[in-house]
A and B are shown apart, each in its own frame.
Chain A
């Protein structure tokens, strides 16, 4: 199981679009992923450390260094499939580098 963390303003709109899209697309590509969506202001260093990949809209300034791989997922929100494609590809590549099942 690959654990992905995503975040947005209220933790209910943009981040959930990213969560649903990533879970569906990565499942189609044969990966077992679980994505959690939270309010970006609630993201702490301890929280991030419990996940494998961080998937924000755009890389944020959190006040601490994010040590897990980060994939910017903003293009998923454009609602145009071809624009989201590169994000999914990069996510797949990142998952492969984790060497996790």
Chain B
């Protein structure tokens, strides 16, 4: 036995010692090969992932180096403890994809999806492999909080089952929002796991503020007026100026902050694209294998959320919510994130669209009410994000020790609290077990109530179609 371990160590240790980027290059290439991707395509994906990891590290370095002094100055001059840098979705996605556990959770979720199709528990084949990182993030945070791999996997599978069921529940609403009954598009995206909570607020809205609906405005008109003023680089510049002024920097430093933030926000989405391309051969490979085994079955296809991105309400709500979130972040107790990279709340507004079916005032009011949950979840996850970034070599060494990174509007905030509680319940037992069980029970019950509401909605759609 000892000699086997010694032999394995002698092979794997030198590879692991090479660092995260080369390890992930090898792991991603090998896994793609297992799904019968051509060697050159598989290797291309692996190399792209290594480059994305290296690139994201460089940009995080650029941003945190430029902002760390200003954020300290901000805290000193305002007394507001907002010291965590909001780097937006791309660094978090890249860091998560930089962990080999993500590929493990991916395989588990692919098997789960195929099993649910074969058992006729869903009609959705999820081909959105890239967004597995949202689920993997929950699993990794759970492990970071003290869980073992088995418990973390159970949590990921539980949420995975609900996400797949949710994709079926939402399908008629998607058809309604797209004005098209003849398409297979649906999604298992994590952001729609906020639907149950939003539906509760929507019901309250029905009772308290139904008169507000008549103030709904033309979202597309608002967006076309905003034009480039709402683009990544502009937002970086406003926030750079804002932080510079609040932290009493001189003019020269303010310009540096503004242009650095603008540059970083543009580069983050560019590099986000590199690593999506890295996962592309594997995504196609898995889809090919899955469709081969499921021949003859007709199903809906689970995509990334933006097949709804043509709905103007998503962007109008995100534009209006951006300054609201900034205001909330400044006064919200327990929040330490200063909105920057995640300020356009793409992880928040699609679920608002689905639940309210495009009632823009409701989207904004409910969005403003739920944003604190995202800010707290982002704050909660910051030590984990920073730790994982360091682990995969995506965090610059020159940045001060206490400097943390996270995201303000990452999808799945409630799931992050679950991961935290389940992790602590595993490692510390005691009252954490009670809290974790209560939280999971509440989470499931709320989803069951939501599913009931959605089935009622779907029956109304079916009746309208039959009568129409």
Q: Residues of A at under 8 Å CB distance from B?
A: 7-17, 39-42, 44-45, 56-64, 74, 77-80, 83
With CB as the reference atom, state the residue of chain A lying closest to B232. A39
* Contact A13 B185, beta carbon cutoff 8 Å: no
B228 contact from A14, A44, A74, Cβ within 8 A: A44
A62 contact from B283, B312, B319, Cβ within 8 A: B312
A9 contact from B219, B288, B304, Cβ within 8 A: B304
* Chain A nearest CB, measured from B55 CB (Å): 13
Question: Contacts of B309 on A, CB cut-off 8 Å?
Answer: 7-9, 40-41, 57, 60
Chain B interface residue bracket vs A: 35 or more
* Contact A57 B306, beta carbon cutoff 8 Å: yes
Given contacts A9-B306, A57-B309, is CB(A79)–CB(B287) below 8 Å? Answer: yes
Question: Contacts of A57 on B, CB cut-off 8 Å?
Answer: 306-307, 309-310
B 73-100 to A, binary, CB cutoff 8 A, 1 in contact else 0: 0000000000000000110000000000
Q: Does B127 contact A (CB under 8 A)?
A: yes
Question: Contacts of A44 on B, CB cut-off 8 Å?
Answer: 224, 227-228
Closest 3 CB pairs of A and B: A60-B310, A9-B306, A63-B220
Q: Complex Cα distance A59/B230, Å?
A: 21
Scan residues 168-185 of chain B and give those whose CB is less than 8 A from a CB of chain A: 178, 180, 183-185
B 302-318 to A, binary, CB cutoff 8 A, 1 in contact else 0: 01111101111001001
* Contact A61 B183, beta carbon cutoff 8 Å: no
Q: Does B392 contact A (CB under 8 A)?
A: no
Q: Residues of B at under 8 Å CB distance from A?
A: 89-90, 127, 130, 178, 180, 183-185, 218-224, 227-228, 230-232, 269-270, 272-273, 276-277, 280, 283-284, 287-288, 291, 301, 303-307, 309-312, 315, 318-319, 344, 346
* Contact A77 B303, beta carbon cutoff 8 Å: yes
* Contact B273 A77, beta carbon cutoff 8 Å: no
* Contact B280 A17, beta carbon cutoff 8 Å: yes
| Chain B at the A interface: SS class | helix
23 contacts between A and B (CB under 8 A): A8-B304, A9-B306, A10-B89, A12-B269, A13-B273, A13-B276, A41-B309, A44-B224, A44-B227, A58-B183, A59-B310, A61-B219, A61-B310, A61-B312, A62-B310, A62-B312, A63-B224, A64-B224, A74-B185, A77-B301, A77-B303, A79-B284, A80-B291
Q: Complex Cα distance A79/B232, Å?
A: 30
* Contact B227 A78, beta carbon cutoff 8 Å: no
Given contacts A57-B306, A63-B218, A63-B221, is CB(A13)–CB(B312) below 8 Å? Answer: no
* Chain B nearest CB, measured from A77 CB (Å): 5
Q: Complex Cα distance A80/B292, Å?
A: 10
Q: Complex Cα distance A20/B130, Å?
A: 16
* Contact A61 B269, beta carbon cutoff 8 Å: no
* Chain B nearest CB, measured from A50 CB (Å): 15
Question: Contacts of B344 on A, CB cut-off 8 Å?
Answer: 41
* Contact B178 A58, beta carbon cutoff 8 Å: yes
Given contacts A63-B312, A78-B184, is CB(A45)–CB(B307) below 8 Å? Answer: no
Q: Complex Cα distance A12/B270, Å?
A: 7
Given contacts A41-B223, A60-B312, A61-B312, is CB(A74)–CB(B306) below 8 Å? Answer: no
Question: Contacts of A80 on B, CB cut-off 8 Å?
Answer: 287, 291, 301
Question: Contacts of B301 on A, CB cut-off 8 Å?
Answer: 77-80
Q: Complex Cα distance A19/B185, Å?
A: 19
* Chain B nearest CB, measured from A18 CB (Å): 11
* Contact B307 A58, beta carbon cutoff 8 Å: yes
Q: Known contacts A58-B310, A62-B310, A77-B307; can you find 19 more A-B pairs with CB under 8 A?
A: A10-B89, A10-B272, A12-B90, A12-B270, A13-B304, A16-B273, A16-B277, A39-B269, A45-B224, A61-B219, A62-B312, A63-B221, A63-B224, A63-B312, A74-B183, A74-B185, A77-B185, A77-B304, A79-B301
